[in-house]
Copies of this chain bind each other. A is one copy, B any other.
Amino acid sequence: MTYFRTIGLITKPSDILLADTVRTLLDYLHARNKEVLVDQSAGILLQHTGSAGVCRQEIARRCDLVIVVGGDGTLLHAARSLIDHDVPLLAINRGRLGFLADISPDDMIEKLDKILIGRYIEEHRYLLHAGVVRANKTIADSDACNEVVAHVSGSVRMIELEIYIDGRYVNTLRADGLIVSTPTGSTAYALSGGGPILYPSLQAIVLVPICPHTLTNRPIVVDAASRIEVVLCRENTTPARVSFDGQADVDLIPDDRVIIERKVPTLRLVQPEDYDYFQILRAKLRWG
């Protein structure tokens, strides 16, 4: 049986430090007779391939595996752009281990040898989908791999947010903001904010208040099927915005409602067969 005939390659446009890794990877894949589609955003790296690159849409449509080489930002961006297509992702982290991937440039050939003959596991991670509703109209929406954050913008004053879960009022939060995070995001910003670690496959969402005025406003973990609604209070006078994976921002005005739900479908991550989340935790958090 043959695994992964057509492979997409996405990498950070301008990072020339990645060039060697990507060239090695391309040579390796070509030697294996794989058809490789390089994302057009790869820029300078495309000179090596002699091609102009293809658009993200074509990659999503034609590939049966997409390899992403880069840091957390590149990975999160690629995941969001491919989530609506049924294509698995394999992440190679630049330099240091990441929470999403435990393949590094150093061991990528060894790991790929096994993955390309089917010795891998497929892990499913859910994303969030969030819409910003103003006067009953959705004015913006986005997916998020890690977290959706409603937060103060350009000030150290608190904002006031009303939180609802499945239509029921939870509380009115006075804080720097609120992080609504997936298990994937629970080791990112949410952890810095005092949230717990959620095991990646757990079907749960965690709400982490950022520097809340009321000290008992602790993180809350709810079912991933919950519908979370975060409303900027009418009385709020501090500039506020909502952010998706820390990469796209929308300014909020009072009465705006941010509605957050689990995204369907889920992200398919290809992991080495010896993938061990706890080992990554131990390494990243320097346990023991």
Contact = CB atoms under 8 A, between A and B. Distances in A.
From A153, A199, A281, residue with most partner B Cβ within 10 Å: A199
A195 B196 contact: yes
A194 B192 contact: no
Interface in A186-229: 189, 191-199, 201-204, 206, 210-223, 226
Contact of A218 (B197, B204, B214, B249): B197
Contact of A246 (B157, B172, B193, B213): B157
Interface centre among A193, A241, A276, A285 (most CB of B within 10 A): A285
Contacts of A214: 286-288
A276 B170 CA distance: 10
Contact of A156 (B199, B204, B246): B246
A50 interface: no
Given A206-B196, A211-B192, A288-B171, A154 B241 contact: yes
Contact of A193 (B177, B189, B211): B211
A287 B218 CA distance: 10
Contacts of A170: 278, 281
A74 to B, nearest CB: 15
B215 A199 contact: no
Contacts of A249: 154-156
Given A157-B246, A197-B221, A199-B222, 10 more contacts: A154-B239, A156-B189, A165-B278, A168-B278, A176-B210, A196-B196, A197-B220, A199-B221, A204-B221, A217-B285
29 contacts: A149-B156, A153-B155, A155-B249, A156-B177, A157-B246, A165-B199, A168-B276, A171-B278, A171-B282, A171-B287, A172-B288, A176-B192, A176-B210, A189-B211, A192-B211, A192-B212, A195-B196, A196-B196, A196-B220, A196-B221, A197-B218, A197-B219, A197-B220, A199-B223, A202-B204, A202-B223, A203-B203, A204-B204, A216-B286
Nearest 9 Cβ contacts at the A-B interface: A196-B219, A216-B285, A192-B211, A154-B154, A156-B243, A153-B154, A199-B222, A171-B287, A196-B196
Interface of A: 149, 151, 153-157, 165, 168-172, 175-177, 189, 191-199, 201-204, 206, 210-223, 226, 239, 241, 243, 246, 249, 276, 278, 281-282, 285-288
